[in-house]
Amino acid sequence: MCDQTFLVNVFGSCDKCFKQRALRPVFKKSQQLSYCSPCAEIMATDGLHENETLASLKSEAESLKGKLEEERAKLHDVELHQVAERVEALGQFVMKTRRTLKGHGNKVLCMDWCKDKRRIVSSSQDGKVIVWDSFTTNKEHAVTMPCTWVMACAYAPSGCAIACGGLDNKCSVYPLTFDKNENMAAKKKSVAMHTNYLSACSFTNSDMQILTASGDGTCALWDVESGQLLQSFHGHGADVLCLDLAPSETGNTFVSGGCDKKAMVWDMRSGQCVQAFETHESDINSVRYYPSGDAFASGSDDATCRLYDLRADREVAIYSKESIIFGASSVDFSLSGRLLFAGYNDYTINVWDVLKGSRVSILFGHENRVSTLRVSPDGTAFCSGSWDHTLRTKNYLFVSLQVWA
Amino acid sequence: MAAGPASHGGLRRAQRPHLSKMERMVVSMQDPDQGVKMRSQRLLITVIPHAVTGNDIMEWLIHKYCITEEEALHLGTLLVRHGYLYPLRDPCHLELRLDETPYRFQTPYFWMSTLWPAAELDYAIYLAKKNIRKRGGLFDHEKEHYDQLHRKISHTWDLVVMQAREQLWAAKQRRKGDRLVIACQEQTYWLVNRPPPGVPSVLEQGPERNSCTAGRVQMTKTVDFYRREVECLRKALGRARVKSSVCLEAYLKFSSQRGPHDPIMSGCLPSNPWVTDNDTYWAMNAPSAAVPTRLRVEQWAFSFRELLEDPVGRAHFMDFLSKEFSAENLSFWEACEELRHGGQAQVPALVDAVYQQFLAPGAARWVNIDSRTMERTLVGLGRPHRHVLDDAQLHIYMLMKKDSYPRFLKSDLYKDLLAEAVVPPKTKRRVFPFMRKPRHSSPSPALLPASASREPSGGDGEA
C-alpha cells in the first residue's frame, strides 16, 4: 500500500501507544498489528536499525577474521616438515592386535581408559556400557542405559565410577560396585542436562566435576554431587562433537570441536573462548592435546587430521593423503607425541609421524568404521572400537574392541 | 525408476564428503588417457565394452596413490561396496575379486549421492520385476521385504505391477548387451541400498547432526552470536603470538626428550605387558612403588608438573621441602587443588580450613604470598568460591617452580634417587612362545576403601 493513497479505514486504539488515532496495518514477525502513523514510522526505522546491526556485525566479524589470518601469517616463518628434516625417520613399525574384547552386541561408540592402565569402559549403540579388565579380557561391570546411542563414556580418575550419556541428552554417573546385591543402575546419578544429544564427556582432575559437550552447541561443566551447572560455554554455531582437557600446569583450559568446523579453546573459569581455529572443511569429530599441552590435533570428516599450535595461534600441520577419503573419527597421540594414531570411517587406523607429516603405517583390523581410539595412560598400547559386528553363527553377534601394542 | 533424485540429497551430501571424493576418484579412473585400462568383455555371445578387471583397478590405484597392494585392495573394495563399481557376472556379493571377473563403472544415475534415499516404491517395482521374471527367484530377505511392501502399499499395488511389467517390456526392446548392463546396474544399486542380512550397510550413519535446525538458525542468526564472535576475534587479534620456528623447535625437543619414555616408540623394560602377557612393568611402575625406575626418576626433571603428577615424585619433593622448611608451600598448593576440583558443597568449609591453616595471621603453616595477592585473596574470601584461591595458588606454584624445584634437581636427595633407581632387565624371549603365561588379574580401583577414592591424583590400581 502506497503512503500517498493511504485511506483511513480504521480508527481505534494503537497497539503500541494505545492512543485513539487513525490506524494502519503493520506486520511484525508475520503478525498483523494496527499502529498509528507516528508509531508505524518509528517501527520502520527500528527494524532497519536492528537489521543494520546484524549485517554490520557479520561483516565486522568477517573482516576481523581476515585480519587475524594476516596477523597469524606474519609470524609463520617455517613449516613443520622443514624443521623436522633433521629428525631421524622412524623405522619399521609393527603393531598387532593383542587383545580382542568381545561382548557388545552392537556398534561400539566410545571408550575410555582407567588410570590403572588396563581397565576400560566402553559404550555402544544398544545402550550397553561395559567395564573390562582388558588385560585379562574379563568383563567386570555392565550397565544398560535407558537410551540407545551412548556416544560418550568416561572413567573417573579414581577408578570408582563411570560416566556415560547419549541420546538421552543427559550425562549419568554410575559408581562402580562389586556388591552382587546392588544394582548399579540404582545408584545412578543424573548430572548433566542438555537440550540435545550428549556427544562427549570427561571428568576433570577429580571425580567431582564433569565436562560435557552436546549436540545443542554448548559445552558445560557440572558438579557431580549436586548436578549443579558450574559453567557453560557458548560459541559454537552447531553441534559440539568432542572435547579434551589440557594437560597444563594451571589446568584451566579445554578444547572442543564441532560441526561448525571450528575448534575452540575455552577458559574453564570464565567460560570465555580463548582461541578459535577454523581451517577444517567439514565436521571435527575428535580433538586431542599434544602431550606438552602446547598444541592439539583434530580429526575431521574432510579426511584430514590437523595440528594446531596454541602459542603460534595457527594450524601447523595437515596429515592427509589422496588415498584417504573417509573421515577421521578419532585421534590420539603416543606418549612422546611423535606418533598420531587416527581411526577412520574406512575401517582403517593410520599412524602418522607428527613431526615429518608422513604416514608411518596403516592398520587393518576392523570390518567397519573405527569409531573410537585412545592410547593407554602409560602409552603401552592403544584401544580401538568400531562398528563391526560379524555374524558367526546364527543369532550370535559380537562386536570387537581391539587393543594394539 | 518412478522416483527422481532425492530432494534432500544435496543436504546429506554435505554431511558425507567422502562420497564426492569417491566420485572424483571414479571419474578419473574412467579418463580415456590416465584412467584404468578398459577392455571389452565377452559374456557368452554378448560383448560388453568398457569393462575392467579387479587387477586393473588395483594396479591403477597402486600407481596413482603410491600405496601398497593391501591398501589398494581395501580401497577398491570400498568403491565396490558403495556401488561405484559393479561386477558384470550376476552380482550378489559386492567385493573386489582379483580374478578375471569383469567390472564396470556405475552410471551416475545410481550413485549414492544422486539417488538417495532409495524409495520404497522403486524397491517394490524392482522386486515385482524380479518376481515376474523368474517365479520364486527372490531371496529370503527379498521375499520378506516384498510381503512387507505389499502390505504397506497394497492400495497402489496395481501401479507397482503395472510399472514392473512396463519396465520389463521396455527392457525386452533393448539390445541384449544393454539389457544385461542395466540389470546389473540396478541389482548393484539395490545391493547397496537394501543389503542382505549379515552384510553391513554402508549407508549407516550415526545420529543426525545439525538436527535442531531451528536452534541452529537461531544460533547463527542472532545478534548475540555475532557480538560474541566479534569480541572473541578482537581478543584474539590482541593476543601475543610466538614465532612458528620457536614453537616447532619445541616439538622436536619434546619428542626427542620423551622418545625413550614412549613404550610404543622405544619399547619398555622388562617388557610391554600387552606383548608378553607379563605385567611386571606395571608392578614396577605402580603409583606407590617403593623403588622407582630410572626412567621415572629422570622424568621428574622434565618439568615441574610431571614431578607433582607422580605421587612418588611429589612425596620426595615434599621431603626435600621439609628439609628446607618450606613444605607448607606444597601443602598449600595441594589444598588449593582439592578446593578447585572438589565438590561444590565442600567449598565454604575447605576455603575456611585453608585460610585458618595457611593464610590467617599467625597461622600454623603460614605461606609467604606477596602483599598484593594476599590482599586480593583476603577480600575474595568474603564470598568463597572454588576459584577464590587461584591467584595465591599460582603465586606459590611459581615460587616452587622457579626456586625450590631447580634446587631439588641439583640436590643430593635427587642424585641419590637417580643412582638408586632400578633399571629392569629385559625379559628373555620365551623358549616356548606358544605356551601362554597366565594373565594375572588385578584388584579393581573400585574395590579400594572409600578414603582412596578421594585422592584427586588418581587411583592406586596396582597391577
Q: How far is CA B141 from CA A359, A395, B138, in A?
A: 42, 16, 8
Q: Is residue B395 part of a domain?
A: yes
In this structure, are B346 and B325 located in the same domain? yes
Nine-digit cell string for B189: 544399486
In this structure, are B138 and B105 located in the same domain? no
**What one-character-per-residue DSSP string does B242-292 give?**
--HHHHHHHHHHHHHHHGGG-HHHH--SS--HHHHS-THHHHHT-TT-SS-
Q: Is residue B198 part of a domain?
A: no
Q: How far is CA A218 from CA A20, A109, A215, B377, in A?
A: 48, 21, 7, 31
Could you read off the pLDDT of B41-91 as tens digits, one per residue?
A: 777 677 888 888 889 999 999 999 999 999 999 999 999 999 999 988 766
Contact A356, A323 (CB under 8 A): no
Which residues are within 8 A (CB) of A302 and not within 5 positions of it... i.e. 6 or more apart?
A280, A281, A282, A327, B17
For B231, name the nearest residue in chain A, comparing CA atoms only: A61
In this structure, are B182 and B74 located in the same domain? no
Q: Which of B193, B212, B247 is the last residue of a domain?
A: B193
Residue B124: which CATH number?
A: 1.10.1240.60
Q: Is residue B1 part of a domain?
A: no
Q: Is residue B58 part of a domain?
A: yes
Which chain A residues are within 8 Å of B236, Cβ to Cβ?
68, 275-276, 313
In this structure, are B50 and B125 located in the same domain? no
Residue B376: which CATH number?
A: 1.10.167.10
In this structure, are B26 and B131 located in the same domain? no
The residues facing A275 across adjacent strands are A265
Residues of chain B with pLDDT under 50: 1-11, 13, 213-216, 450-463
Nine-digit cell string for B285: 611402575
B254–A contact, CB cutoff 8 A: yes
Q: Is residue B387 part of a domain?
A: yes
Which residues are within 8 A (CB) of A84 and not within 5 positions of it... i.e. 6 or more apart?
A355, A356, A357, B248, B252
Nearest by CB to A380, from B207, B210, B274: name it.
B274
In this structure, are B131 and B93 located in the same domain? no
Which chain B residues are within 8 Å of A312, Cβ to Cβ?
241-244, 246-247
Dihedrals φ, ψ of A104, to 5°?
-75, 145
Nearest by CB to A178, from B245, B337, B447: name it.
B447
In this structure, are B377 and B286 located in the same domain? yes
Residues of A numbered 195-214 whose beta carbons fall under 8 angstroms of chain B's beta carbons: which are they? Answer: 195-197, 204-209
A401 — alpha (psi -120 to 50), left (phi > 0) or beta?
beta
In this structure, are B284 and B351 located in the same domain? yes
Q: How far is CA B61 from CA A64, B17, B19, B25, B458, in A?
A: 43, 20, 17, 10, 49
Contact A369, A344 (CB under 8 A): yes
> What is the Cα–Cα distance from B65 to A323, expressed in whole angstroms?
6
> What is the Cα–Cα distance from B178 to B124, expressed in whole angstroms?
23
What's the sign of the alpha-carbon dihedral B93, B99, B101, B107? positive
In this structure, are B372 and B271 located in the same domain? yes
Nine-digit cell string for B35: 584412467
- Domain housing B313: 267-420
| pLDDT for A294 | 93
Helix (H, G, I), strand (E, B) or coil at B159: helix
Nine-digit cell string for B187: 541389482
Residues of chain A with pLDDT under 70: 1-10, 25-32, 41, 43-52, 181, 251, 389-400
Peptide bond into B195 cis (omega under 30): no
Selected residue of B22, B26, B248 to mutate for chain A interface (largest A Cβ count, 10 A): B248
Name the packing angle between helices B311-323 and B412-420 (round to 10°).
150
Which residue in this structure is represented by grid cell 564426492? B20
Q: Is residue B290 part of a domain?
A: yes
| pLDDT for A4 | 40
> What is the Cα–Cα distance from A145 to A133, expressed in whole angstroms?
20
> What is the Cα–Cα distance from B352 to B366, expressed in whole angstroms?
14
Nine-digit cell string for B460: 592406586
Element (H, E) at A389: strand A382-391
> What is the Cα–Cα distance from B85 to A139, expressed in whole angstroms?
42
Q: What percent of chain A has pLDDT over 70?
A: 89
Maximum alpha-carbon separation in chain A: 89
In this structure, are B315 and B416 located in the same domain? yes
Dihedrals φ, ψ of A284, to 5°?
-95, 115
Could you read off the pLDDT of B207-259 as tens digits, one per residue?
A: 888 765 444 455 555 777 888 888 888 888 888 888 889 999 999 999 999 99
> What is the Cα–Cα distance from A359 to A356, expressed in whole angstroms?
9
Torsion of CA A121, A122, A123, A128, to 10 degrees: -70
Give the burial class of A312: count Cβ atoms within 10 A of its Cβ; 0-12 exposed, 13-18 middle, 19 or more buried. buried
* The residue type at B196: P
In this structure, are B69 and B185 located in the same domain? no
Q: Is residue B298 part of a domain?
A: yes
Give the burial class of A331: count Cβ atoms within 10 A of its Cβ; 0-12 exposed, 13-18 middle, 19 or more buried. buried
Q: Which of B55, B85, B110 is the last residue of a domain?
A: B110
Name the packing angle between helices B327-341 and B311-323 (round to 10°).
140
Element (H, E) at B102: strand B102-105
| pLDDT for A239 | 93
> What is the Cα–Cα distance from A278 to A262, expressed in whole angstroms?
5
Give, rounded to a whole angstrom, the gap between the first and last alpha carbons of chain B.
63
Give the burial class of A102: count Cβ atoms within 10 A of its Cβ; 0-12 exposed, 13-18 middle, 19 or more buried. middle
| pLDDT for B207 | 84
Instruction: Please tell me the distance in Å from B177's CA to the nearest CA on chain A.
Output: 34
Instruction: Please tell me the distance in Å from A22's CA to the nearest CA on chain B.
Output: 34
A143–B contact, CB cutoff 8 A: no
DSSP A398: E
Which chain A residues are within 8 Å of B245, Cβ to Cβ?
77-78, 83
Element (H, E) at B149: helix B140-152
Closest by alpha carbon to B400, among B311, B310, B333, B301? B333
What's the sign of the alpha-carbon dihedral B141, B142, B146, B149? positive
Q: Is residue B289 part of a domain?
A: yes
Residue B26: which CATH number?
A: 1.10.10.10
Which chain B residues are within 8 Å of A336, Cβ to Cβ?
254-255, 257-259, 261-262, 265
Residue spans of beta strands (DSSP E) within A75-183: 97-104, 108-113, 119-124, 128-133, 138-144, 152-155, 161-165, 170-175
| pLDDT for B9 | 41
Q: Which of B174, B193, B212 is the last residue of a domain?
A: B193
B302–A contact, CB cutoff 8 A: no
Overall residue count recorded for chain A in this entry: 405
**What one-character-per-residue DSSP string does A306-367 give?**
EEEETTTTEEEEEE--TT--SPEEEEEE-TTSSEEEEEETTSEEEEEETTT--EEEEEE--S
A160–B contact, CB cutoff 8 A: yes
Q: How many domains does chain B have?
A: 3
Across B281-317, b (16+ Cβ under 10 Å) vs e yields bbebbbbebeebbbbbbebbbebbbebbebbbbbebb
Look at B226 and A57 and tell me if their CB atoms are within 8 Å: yes
Cα B295 to its chain centre, rounded Å, is: 30
Contact A80, A340 (CB under 8 A): no
Residues of A numbered 44-73 whose beta carbons fall under 8 angstroms of chain B's beta carbons: which are they? Answer: 50, 53-54, 57-58, 60-61, 64-65, 67-68, 71-72
ipTM: 0.88
**Inter-chain CB pairs, A–B, below 8 Å:** 352
In this structure, are B271 and B413 located in the same domain? yes
